[in-house]
Structure 1
Amino acid sequence: MKKRHIALAALALIGVGAGSAVIIASPTVHKGAPGEMPELGRYGEFSVGTQEFTMELPDRVTFSKAAMVTGGIEPTERALKVRMYYPAAPNGQELVSYSHTMAPPDMEPVTLDYTGRAYEGAPVVADRTAYPLVIMSHGFNGWSTQFSNLAEHIASRGYVVASIDHADMQLEGLTDFLHSFAQVLASRSLDQRQVLAQILKRNATEDSGIFDAVNPEQVAVIGYSMGGYGALATAGGDYDYESGTFGAVPAEALDPVRAAGSQDAGIDAVIAFAPWGGQSDNRVWSADTLSKITVPVLIVAGNQDDVSNYEDGISWIFNSLSGADAHMLVFREARHNIVGNDFDLPEGAPFRAMEFVKEPVWRQDRINGINQHFVAAFLDLHLKGDADKAAYLNVPTSNANEGQWDVSTGEQLNGKMAGSNETEHWRGFQRRWALGLDMLQKPAGE
């Protein structure tokens, strides 16, 4: 292999003349990530620890299937597991092992076992400043470690991440689906707000450990699908309660949501992956309610999303964010699963399981590297105030395919990523590797 590489280099030199070509004869190796990952998609400087906590959420209500027709609510105790990720100083702890069993109706259960890059129970790194907090919220019938790769990546770059397991009601049939979905409509944003409140309460009272490591003045929320539906509301975009979508939810169950929506949750930035709720047949906001969001927003979507509906739903949300500086990253030819771990499904797993976690065109690991790149840029810019990261988001051409990066004939860049000198190419991507993407940008007031 080495001899062949040198021969190719020599051929390039002979063809164009030694004075006009630059050949690097050794491959670029990027620790912690494949060489194709864009710059900020690579693991950060910190080792990562993880621990799971159970958080009690007060004053919650629920409702029965019958109450969806007749009305009425019941007080309930709600406790959710929250998986925390944070910069750590491991001292002998093992890498965390995750396991989740998918069991949709009429499908044999499929168990996903996967190892993370975080150390279970490792202590928070010492001699530190407080780290920004990121709340993560999964989609309908998802789970807290479904995006563990993204959570670990964020934490490695100097953040505390709290990934909620919303414990959506399991499904046995159509009536269970409708009941569970109605419960999610009434609970997603409340879960996010109350978990955030629990963390900030412990931050104010504890003088060591994970919760003490949080900077309460720097908070973002990340949500996928129904998590995005909740995240936009938590960030200030209260719902249009006259929407017919809420017709299956007893009016009394929406009262706590209304009350919470009138309160500032203290969110400084929001990232919504494939957010649900914008499509005209299930629209839960008006343009006026979404205009109330004034913090920066990053939306990530596939332009073939047929769940949240890219054209009629996600794009409408983006265009309605008139009060916010907004970006929308679009994976062309992608559908709904544009975030999530690159799971190895067990042999013989039903196609339905694959359809829940995989994309039909894009490789999941490639999606993840790109997501990590832009999430890091967005959070560093808007939570840490790193103005240099704006160049990664404010791309020179909205269609990545149209980026320009001139090189000499035969010049081998060998994995070099676009920096400040490559002003016509998407920052942080290798030449010829920024493809299939669009970035839409809209300042507040438009």
Structure 2
Amino acid sequence: MKRSSLYLTLALLSLTPLGVAGAQLAATAPSQSVPGDARPDAPELSARGPYAVGVRTLTLTNPGQLDIVKAPKEGEIPRYDRPLTVEVWYPAVGASGSGVTTYRDVLGSGPNDPKRPNTPFLTLGRATRDAAPSAQGGPYPLVIVSHGYPGSRYLMSYLTENLASKGYVVASIDHTDSTHGDKAAFASTLLNRPLDDNFVLGEMARLGAADSGSPLSGLVDADRTALVGYSMGGYGALNAAGAGFGPEMVPLVPNGALKQRQTGAYTVDPRIKAVVAFAPWGGDAAVRGIGVNFGGKYGFWDEAGLANLKVPTMFVVGDRDDVAQYEGGVKSLFENAVNAERYMVVYENASHNSAPNPPPAASLNSFDDYMHYAEPAWDMARLNNLNQHFVTAFLNLKLKGMQGAAPYLNVPTPRSNDIKVSRNADGSPKADDTSWAGFKNRTARGIELYRMMPR
């Protein structure tokens, strides 16, 4: 399909009933119009798993939280019951790749930005709304997904659907005060990201328990939980998993509220077993983008804070990241989280947008909205497939103990451009072959993959 035809099709779908969209997706053949479908050059583990995917929406309330948006200049911060909308994808009854749905989202950067108004759009998905869950293989490990600032729970639907098809329950949060539609005071995001992650973990454990009476009953093994965060979501995930903030950062949230997220001030939930941090913001010592130019040695983190991150962690970053920064930012976090087994996937010439779905058709009239999703040097469907591959390998290894996933991460040479393909006549590798597992010949290009063990 030509690019112009694809955009026209998506634009029309955004104006039509779900029944028409369903007709477009009746076949399960791949289509570049559906985020997450595999390109012909997609690596092995990007393929959908054996399960059909169900999806449902939860409305949760975390009582008695600090209302940072209404914080006075002086005095105590009022409290409120904090609402959170959470989308949950899970293994369902049916054939892999079956199902059709649309996810309703908006573009923009908050409710009152005239340059980026809240323009509605639809994203197509291969899932079935409120489908009957599959009982085969459960309960399933839990993956909590946290978007950027601003963002939405649908920002990485290519990944959430894909993981659910492989036997994970995936809960993606709309972080209040931090979505495209309700963006508010940044201090709320600074404080609430790790708190939201922890609250949703507890609620998913409660709802997913065998005797809960919830539609998710018996589905969730919260004792095997991973946090997946992008940008500010990565910032929050690292903190929730143990990377406490340095004292220099406390003044950024009113009334010293950020003190509760310093190293030693909180206990890490032991159910968190792994973290995937896409371009995690906050590791740059200058702490760019918030109107201040101070920070600890590692931005929001000091040496003790990074040392307290002890769960296996995968960082994913572009080496031209101009928001979270690569050198002196994400790379520094990777190198100095010395007590964690960690991996770092680097996309050469990529900037900050390595994690989202491809740009929606509705963004084509706005440079800012388009660049909220796009990577100029990369095809986004390609990046989506690569993320599916590497995240699957990491979570299969760390949450499911599948040792067969290790070769996809422990590659023989860290720079894919340096791979040497050396094969026998029967196609088997020779001793000097340095190909990456899961990649067809000539398809591993522009990627780096590093691993560091705890000290």
Same fold (TM over 0.5): yes
| Aligned match for 2:171, one of 147, 154, 162 | 162
Distance 2:321 2:74 in 1: 35
Within a 5 Å distance, the mapping from 1:304-319 to structure 2 comes to 304-319=320-335
1:135-155 Cα distance to aligned partner (Å, 9 max, x none): 000011100011011000001
Distance 1:71 1:332 in 2: 48
Q: Retained in 1: the 8 A contact 2:48–2:166? A: yes
- Find the counterpart in structure 1 of residue 403 from structure 2: 387
Q: What SS does the corresponding residue of 1:212 show, helix, strand or coil?
A: coil
Distance 1:285 1:202 in 2: 33
| Aligned match for 2:394, one of 378, 388, 392 | 378
* Matched pairs, number: 403
Distance 1:46 1:159 in 2: 10
Q: Give 1:237 shift.
A: 1.1
Distance 2:430 2:375 in 1: 33
- Find the counterpart in structure 2 of residue 111 from structure 1: 120
- Find the counterpart in structure 2 of residue 75 from structure 1: 79
| Aligned match for 2:162, one of 122, 138, 153 | 153
- Find the counterpart in structure 2 of residue 335 from structure 1: 351
Distance 1:230 1:53 in 2: 21
- Find the counterpart in structure 2 of residue 436 from structure 1: 446
- Find the counterpart in structure 2 of residue 57 from structure 1: 62
Q: What SS does the corresponding residue of 2:406 show, helix, strand or coil?
A: helix
- Distance verdict in 2 for CA 1:397–1:273, change over 3 Å: same
| Aligned match for 1:248, one of 231, 252, 259 | 252
1:202-247 Cα distance to aligned partner (Å, 9 max, x none): 234426632421112211100000000000011111211x12x442
1:125 aligns with 2:134: yes
Structure 1: unaligned runs, 5 residues or longer: 1-28
- Find the counterpart in structure 2 of residue 7 from structure 1: none
1:43-68 Cα distance to aligned partner (Å, 9 max, x none): 1111000000011112201135663x
Within a 5 Å distance, the mapping from 1:7-26 to structure 2 comes to none
| Aligned match for 2:45, one of 36, 40, 43 | 40
Q: Give 1:346 shift.
A: 2.7
1:25-82 Cα distance to aligned partner (Å, 9 max, x none): xxxx999622210000111111000000011112201135663x43530111101010
Distance 2:141 2:166 in 1: 10
- Find the counterpart in structure 2 of residue 233 from structure 1: 239
1:139 aligns with 2:144: no
Q: Give 1:95 shift.
A: 1.6
Q: Give 1:419 shift.
A: 8.3
- Distance verdict in 2 for CA 1:76–1:347, change over 3 Å: closer
Within a 5 Å distance, the mapping from 1:263-342 to structure 2 comes to 263-265=267-269, 266-282=271-287, 283-342=299-358
Distance 2:331 2:276 in 1: 15
Letter in 2 for 1:39: E
1:121-164 Cα distance to aligned partner (Å, 9 max, x none): 10101344311100000011100011011000001111000000
Q: Give 1:396 shift.
A: 0.5
Q: Give 1:115 shift.
A: 1.1
Structure 2: unaligned runs, 5 residues or longer: 1-28, 32-36, 288-298
Distance 1:203 1:170 in 2: 26
Q: What SS does the corresponding residue of 2:328 show, helix, strand or coil?
A: helix
- Distance verdict in 2 for CA 1:217–1:64, change over 3 Å: closer
- Distance verdict in 2 for CA 1:216–1:346, change over 3 Å: closer
Q: Retained in 1: the 8 A contact 2:103–2:125? A: yes
| Aligned match for 1:365, one of 373, 381, 388 | 381
- Runs of 4 or more, structure 1, over 6 Å off, are 418-422
Larger-gyration structure (1/2): 1
1:361-399 Cα distance to aligned partner (Å, 9 max, x none): 000000000000000000000000011111100110011
Within a 5 Å distance, the mapping from 1:343-354 to structure 2 comes to 343-346=359-362, 349-354=365-370
- Distance verdict in 2 for CA 1:420–1:354, change over 3 Å: farther
- Distance verdict in 2 for CA 1:261–1:192, change over 3 Å: farther
Distance 2:235 2:429 in 1: 35
Q: Give 1:254 shift.
A: 2.6
Identity of aligned residues (%): 35
Q: Give 1:421 shift.
A: 8.7
- Find the counterpart in structure 2 of residue 216 from structure 1: 222
Q: Retained in 1: the 8 A contact 2:364–2:370? A: no
Q: Retained in 1: the 8 A contact 2:39–2:382? A: no
Letter in 1 for 2:149: F
Distance 1:261 1:135 in 2: 23
Q: Retained in 2: the 8 A contact 1:170–1:180? A: no
Of the structure 1 ranges 202-211 and 161-170, higher mean CA displacement relative to structure 2 is found in 202-211
- Distance verdict in 2 for CA 1:71–1:303, change over 3 Å: farther
Distance 2:159 2:195 in 1: 23
Distance 2:405 2:99 in 1: 34
Q: Retained in 2: the 8 A contact 1:329–1:440? A: yes
Distance 2:71 2:77 in 1: 10
- Distance verdict in 2 for CA 1:169–1:390, change over 3 Å: closer
Q: Give 1:99 shift.
A: 1.7
- Distance verdict in 2 for CA 1:158–1:422, change over 3 Å: farther
Q: Give 1:281 shift.
A: 1.1
